[in-house]
């Protein structure tokens, strides 16, 4: 049995290396499916550890296999690699060197933690049963890189039995870990609706159908209509994020396009929302001689944590940060494509606190001043490695 003290000691020795890795990734951020520099650096690092490395998964993804000394189960550990189209405003010497691109969601830290885990667990391979697959995935932000990784066989060779993934999060202070069993993060779908009215002169609107006025009815009534059509207590959120319409101040608009998202924490409810939206559009537009189109694209599923894997993770985290610092998180309306892996294999996705009010590291995610307390790298590393060891030893 591998003692926690061994993991704690080796993790401490890796802290400076993880910080250096994280800062290098931070200075060279890359958008989804463009993570070529990051991917190459990761592959070199893993090859240097003597692991079996596969590249080119989902274009820029990397997977590496660590074989233990005895037969056993296969556990996947996953990190995402992509950055965001944001101009960084932090004044640090490792700020982004790529104009308009920034690691503003912590993925730089995720890569550093998983590379640290690969090094730490490789040093323990003679004491491990089974195998660990380290997965570095492109394009988590809106592009569904996990689905492409699965299509390219990341769960099949070797066949993965369970999965763990983490996210550094600034709303939790350093020294805390948060997760929950069951539905943890919402599904997300994206919709575009176009309202077709009839244009005319604003001084003589009698024969026109004002698409902007109709869009106002949609904005004011859609959420209430959907809510009344769903079972009581349904957990969902409909948000309209963009509106484009009109051509001139003296013209009645004949076309308005709206785009938004639907988030949901109840799988049976998810398909009902689209039908209710379409029904509301029809009821609102048809009596006024207007037409509509609704394009509805299904995005990420709900992140559902397996109860047994969550218990395992909570136990490991409690030994790292103390049981009182392991938070049973409320379900989040944010979304994550880790959900695609967890549809296929049991697993647990968890948050690692990375905020620090004292250091001013409390900007929200996707903000140009987002930053992390780098002590969280060690917390993430120890929690991930201890959970991995516990899982493999339990087999």
> Annotated catalytic sites, by residue?
82, 140
The CA-atom distances, in angstroms, between 333 and each of 145, 184, 236, 261, 363 are 20, 9, 8, 11, 19
Residues 6+ positions from 267 with CB-CB distance below 8 Å: 187, 301, 302
Contact 61, 137 (CB under 8 A): yes
Backbone angles phi, psi at 78, to 5 degrees: -125, 140
Cis peptide upstream of residue 46 (ω within 30 degrees of 0): no
> Whose structure tokens read 């893993």?
46
Greatest distance between any 2 Cα atoms in the chain: 83
Q: Which two tokens stand for residue 370?
A: 């987002």
> What angle (nearest 5°) sits at the alpha carbon of residue 44, between those of residues 52 and 34?
105
Distance CA 155, CA 345 (A): 9
Q: Which two tokens stand for residue 153?
A: 């066989």
Virtual torsion, Cα 33, 35, 40, 44, nearest 10 deg: -110
């Amino acid at each position: 049995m591998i003692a926690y003290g061994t993991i704690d000691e080796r993790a401490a020795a890796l802290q400076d290396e993880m910080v250096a890795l994280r800062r290098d990734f931070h200075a060279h951020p890359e958008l989804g499916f463009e993570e070529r520099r990051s991917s190459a650096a990761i592959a070199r690092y893993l090859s240097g550890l003597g692991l079996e490395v596969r590249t080119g998964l989902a274009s820029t993804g990397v997977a590496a296999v660590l074989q233990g000394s005895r037969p056993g189960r296969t556990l996947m550990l996953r990190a995402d690699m992509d950055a965001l189209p944001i101009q960084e405003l932090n004044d640090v010497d490792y700020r982004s060197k790529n104009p308009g691109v920034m690691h503003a969601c912590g993925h730089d830290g995720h890569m550093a933690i998983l590379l640290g885990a690969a090094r730490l667990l490789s040093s323990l391979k003679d004491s491990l049963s089974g195998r660990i697959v380290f997965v570095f995935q492109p394009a988590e932000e809106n592009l569904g890189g996990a689905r492409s990784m699965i299509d390219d066989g990341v769960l099949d060779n070797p066949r993965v039995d369970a999965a763990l993934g983490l996210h550094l999060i600034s709303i939790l202070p350093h020294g805390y870990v948060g997760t929950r069993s069951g539905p943890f993060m919402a599904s997300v779908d994206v919709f575009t609706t176009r309202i077709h009215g009839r244009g005319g002169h604003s001084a003589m609107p009698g024969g026109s159908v004002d698409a902007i006025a109709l869009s106002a009815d949609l904005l004011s009534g859609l959420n209430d209509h959907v809510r009344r059509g769903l079972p009581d207590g349904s957990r969902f959120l409909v948000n309209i994020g963009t509106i484009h319409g009109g051509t001139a101040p003296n013209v009645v608009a004949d076309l308005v396009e709206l785009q938004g998202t639907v988030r949901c924490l109840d799988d049976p409810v998810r398909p009902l929302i689209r039908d209710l939206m379409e029904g509301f559009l029809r009821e609102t537009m048809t009596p006024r001689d207007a037409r509509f189109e609704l394009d509805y694209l299904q995005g990420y599923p709900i992140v559902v944590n397996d109860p047994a894997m969550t218990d395992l993770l909570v136990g490991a985290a409690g030994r790292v940060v103390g049981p009182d610092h392991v938070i049973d998180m409320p379900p989040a309306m944010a979304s994550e494509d880790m959900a695609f892996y967890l549809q296929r294999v049991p697993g647990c996705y968890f948050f690692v606190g990375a905020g620090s009010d004292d250091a001013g590291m409390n900007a929200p995610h996707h903000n140009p001043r987002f930053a992390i307390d780098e002590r969280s790298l060690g917390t993430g590393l120890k929690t991930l490695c201890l959970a991995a060891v516990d899982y493999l030893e339990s087999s």
